[in-house]
Amino acid sequence: MSDSTVQCWLVERTFDDRNLVTIVYATPDGSRYQQRERSATSLRNGGEVTAATEIAETELESVSDEETRKRYAEEAERTAEQYDPGDPI
Predicted local distance difference test score (pLDDT) of residue 3: 67
Q: Write the burial class of residue 86 (CB in 10 Å: 0-12 exposed, 13-18 middle, 19+ buried).
A: exposed
Query: What's the confidence (pLDDT) of residue 39?
Result: 83
Per-residue b or e along 4-34, where b marks 16 or more CB atoms closer than 10 Å to that residue's CB: eebebbbbeeeeeeeeebebbbbbbebebbb
Nearest to 75 by CA among 17, 14, 3: 14
Q: List per-residue pLDDT tens for the chain, 89 residues long.
A: 356 999 999 999 998 888 889 999 999 999 999 999 988 777 777 678 899 999 999 999 999 999 999 999 999 999 999 999 999 98
Q: What is the pLDDT of residue 69?
A: 98
